[in-house]
Structure 1
Amino acid sequence: MEIADKWIARGYPAAIVLRIVGVNEATYYYRKKNPPKKQREYRGGRKIPGYSFTLNSQLVSDEQIKEWLLELIAGEENIYGYRKLTRCLQRQYKLVINKKKVYRLCKELDILEPQRRVHLKHPRKIAINREITSSNQLWEIDVKYGYIVGEDRFFYLMSIIDVYDRMIIDYHIGLSCEGKHAAQLIQRALWKRQLFSGTTRPTIRTDNGPQFISHIFENICLEYGTEHERIPPKTPNKNAHIESFHAILERDCLSRYEFTSYQDAYRIVSEYIQFYNQRRMHGSLYDLSPLEFINELAAGRVKPFIVKV
């Protein structure tokens, strides 16, 4: 058909061209009048939503589920495959989830049963009990998930808090949250606290999330001389200060807004963190904000104390 069209367009008689290429005239003119419909491109099924539901219809992001999976295999559930891990998620977290999705998430994390026997480059250091007497001794990092109603997707807030002065030193807000973002967060926080010039570095405490077991995060901790310790599975109280901040954020900010866009969420959360650092009173800081407490402590107008973690 295309060859015939080309020669007919050059002015050759249609009847002669069709006879040469072996196409019946009736067929040619019928197809010209009724061109075949293009087949729809196969897109491989519906789009992966990026979240699941609990039995009480609460949204849970895939990143949170991945974190729970890592917590499970770091504990006594390490002996289970993806099918039994599915049952653990259903029982412990009341998730409505099937084994196919758990298999996919486990594959993305590279924690399917054969891969778990691979020797880790950075063995885990368990968080120990400490007494914190000043700023920049212990920082805690964790990830909080927020939902954007207008776009039907999650955004991620990764925050780093100083256990002593309660300041959110820095944070990452994005539509993804990976090990590289955690590494960049450490770098910015050390720069903001002017700790590159000194010899001492804070200890970094995290849970067992995928961002914090990544090679890029461990490598940056080694490069900057910061000790990285991870809390044991199912012990969020070991990360109590950043967990407390995220609970406050949920109550005072995230639960009060229905975000229409990512830009909307970014602006509102950033403004709240600025309020938290500069103006929100903390009972544990003599009813001062973190910034006010740091200034008052430096001037000697408040007494130092000990934080036991």
Structure 2
Amino acid sequence: MKKQRFSETQIASILKQYEGGREALELCREHGISKATLYNWRKKYAGMDSSHIRELKALQDENRRLKQMYAELMLDHQLAKHIISKKVIKPCQKRELAESVIKEQSISVGRACRVIHLQRSLWYYRSGKDDSAIIDKLSSLADRFPTRGFDKYYAIIRIEGNKWARSRVLRVYREMNLCRRRRHKKRLPSRIKEPLQKQLLPNQSYSMDFMSDSLVSGRKLRIFKVVDDCTRESLAVWCDYSITGQKVTEILEQITAERGKPLQVRVDNGPEFTGKAFSEWCSDRSIIIKYIQPGKPMQNAYIERLNRTYREDVLDAYLFESLEELRILSDEWQHGYNHLMPHQSLNNQTPAKAHQSACRGHFI
């Protein structure tokens, strides 16, 4: 049966007839309604005339509309809280944010655009510009001239005959984040791989290296160490907050005053060893500097083995409150290592004993 919609006047008239004494079954048959509908009308609108019923229905509609409006505002508020921490300025950024909100919250495009304040036309707009040639050109220039800026790049582009507008090239330049200066690699001369050679006499070759650690307070420390490649003696373990190339030469000056100068030293490519102070000190004393290849610490294996022992016995075994505490422990460790610790490559002799044997010509 086709559903009918009764007006307020009709409902009031039916209820008035029912209250006047007419049978409910007769009224229901006459107007085509069920007895449940009649009793619901009586429960809601008993004692009301048509104007009162009209006002009640209007209030119910208004209440339903306000509830729907409140629900929509609450949803918009939740979306706003979700995106308020994200800084968006450009329309392309707003479009990306709208895409993520639609995907995560499963809302309509219209609602997302309204909350983010993005025009619907910008949502559907797709640029037809092709900047691939400019991107390739700027990438090649940045790789070739990493320390130059936009003005220099654009001048080169114009010299080569490209007619791209400056504003367009600048826009692509900024989108590629090339305005941030790139850190380029330090250029080192090519290092020749030279295998470790077993030294037959002491004071022929020294190996040197740095280690890092920190105090309990978090302050950084550096440790400079020197080893004799022949006898494996630890010649220096100097700890300080900062060790420059000048300080390295002072420590080596003390060692050479006691033992004599070596023929060569093996070092890595750190700034202390490639600097002017160390290079000139070695050159003035005719000491050959053997640089290992960058990233190849195994080419300086003698000092790396000493580093491991020192770290296990001292750095990993104690917590240091002060620099002086580390220096005392390092001196005690160096004395024990040289005079008490046998070395397998020295036929289980201590480094000090091996030095004495080599000086007498009996070192194997």
- 1:132 lines up with 2:193 in the alignment: no
Alpha-carbon distance in structure 1 between the residues aligned to 2:198 and 2:340: 27
Flag the 1:216–1:142 CA change in 2: closer, same or farther, 3 A: same
Q: Distance in 1 between matches of 2:146 and 2:249?
A: 30
- Among 203, 207, 225, the residue aligned to 1:159: 225
8 Å Cα contact 2:239-2:323 kept in structure 1: no
Give the helix-richer structure, 1 or 2.
2
1:269 equivalenced with 2:330 (yes/no):
yes
1:171 shift after superposition: 3.3
Distance in 1 (CA, whole Å) between partners of 2:255 and 2:203 is 10
Q: Which residue of 1 aligns with 2:318?
A: 257
**1:124, distance to aligned residue in structure 2 (A):** 6.5
The alignment partner of 1:222 has SS state of helix
Q: Which residues in structure 2 correspond to 1:1-309 (within 5 Å)?
A: 113=184, 126=192, 128-129=194-195, 130-149=197-216, 151-195=217-261, 201-299=262-360, 302-304=362-364
TM-score by length of 2: 0.47
Contact 1:124 1:230 in 2 (8 A): no
Task: Write the deviation string for residues 75-113 of structure 1: whole angstroms up to 9, x where unpaired.
Answer: xxx98969xxxxxxxxxxxxxxxxxxxx99x9xxxxx54
Q: Is the 8 A contact 1:140 1:163 kept in 2?
A: yes
1:39 — aligned with what? none
Aligned amino acid, residue 324 of structure 2:
Q
Report which of the two structures shows the higher radius of gyration computed on alpha carbons.
2
Q: 1:134 to 1:261 in 2, by over 3 A?
A: same
Displacement of 1:139 in angstroms is 0.7
Helix, strand or coil: the match of 1:166? coil
**Equivalent in the alignment of 1:71:** none
Q: Deviations for 1:1-54, whole angstroms, at most 9, x for unmatched residues?
A: xxxxxxxxxxxxxxxxxxxxxxxxxxxxxxxxxxxxxxxxxxxxxxxxxxxxxx
Distance 1:207 1:80, change over 3 A: farther
**In 1: Cα distance, 2:354 partner to 2:266 partner:** 23
Q: Distance in 1 between matches of 2:289 and 2:273?
A: 9
Q: Determine helix, strand or coil for the equivalent of 2:274.
A: coil
Distance change >3 Å, CA 80–CA 186, structure 1 → 2: farther
Q: Distance in 1 between matches of 2:356 and 2:310?
A: 24
How big is the shift at 1:257? 0.4
Shift, 1:132, TM fit: 2.1
The Cα shift of 1:189 comes to 1.9
* Paired residues of 1:160 and 1:169 also in contact (CA < 8 A): yes
Paired with 1:126 and 1:138, the residues of 2 have a C-alpha distance of 18
Deviation at 1:236, TM superposition (A): 0.9
**Structure 1 counterpart SS, 2:223:** strand
Show CA shifts across 1:174-211 (max 9, x none): 1111111121122222112134xxxxx42111011111
Q: What letter corresponds to residue 202 of structure 1 in structure 2? A: L
Aligned to 2:273, what secondary structure does the other structure show? coil
SS at match of 1:132: coil
1:278 and 1:225, CA in 2 relative to 1: closer, same or farther beyond 3 A? same
- Structure 1's 265 and 80: CA in aligned 2 closer, same or farther, altered over 3 A? farther
Contact 1:277 1:291 in 2 (8 A): yes
Letter in 2 for 1:153: R
2:237 partner SS: strand
- What residue identity is the alignment partner of 1:132? Q
Structure with greater strand share of residues: 1
Partner SS, residue 211 of structure 1: helix
How far did residue 127 of structure 1 move?
5.2
- Alignment check: 8 A CA contact 1:127 1:205 kept: no
- 1:133–1:296 distance in 2 versus 1, CA, 3 Å: closer
Contact 2:357–2:363 at 8 Å: present in 1 too? no
Question: Which has the bigger relative contact order, CA under 8 A and spacing at least 6?
Answer: 1
TM-score computed with the length of structure 1 as normaliser = 0.55
Give the root-mean-square deviation of aligned CA atoms.
2.9
How far has the Cα of 1:126 moved from its partner? 3.7
Q: Helix, strand or coil for the counterpart of 1:140?
A: strand
8 Å contact kept, 2:246–2:277: yes
Q: Name the counterpart of 2:131.
A: none
Aligned identity (percent) is: 23
When the two structures are aligned, how many residues end up with a matched partner? 189
Paired amino acid for 1:296: S
Q: What are structure 2's unaligned runs of at least 5 residues? A: 1-142, 148-179
